[in-house]
Amino acid sequence: MNKALRRVLVLVLGAAAVGAGVYAYDRSVAARGSTVDTSAFYAQRLRDGVGTERNLADLRGRVVVVNFWATWCVPCVEEIPMFSKVHAEQDSVAFVGLGIDSPGNVTGFNARFKPSYPLLIAGASGTELARALGNASGALPFTVVLDRDGHVVQSHLGRVDEATLRAWIQPYLAKTR
Domain residues of the chain, as ranges? 3-173
- pTM, to two decimals: 0.81
What whole-number distance in Å separates Cα of residue 67 and Cα of residue 2? 31
pLDDT of 28: 37
C-alpha to C-alpha distance for 82 and 47, rounded to whole angstroms: 23
CA 79 to chain centre: 10
Nearest to 111 by CA among 82, 157, 71, 139: 71
Quick one: residue 117, left, alpha or beta (phi over 0 = left, psi -120 to 50 = alpha)?
Answer: beta
| Predicted pLDDT at 50 | 81
Which pLDDT score, from 0 to 100, does residue 97 have?
98
| pLDDT value, residue 19 | 47
> So what's the pLDDT on residue 76?
98
The pLDDT value recorded for residue 34 is 55
Q: Which residues of the chain have pLDDT under 50?
A: 8, 12, 18-33, 176-177
The predicted pLDDT at position 35 comes to 77
Q: For domain 3-173, give the CATH number.
A: 3.40.30.10
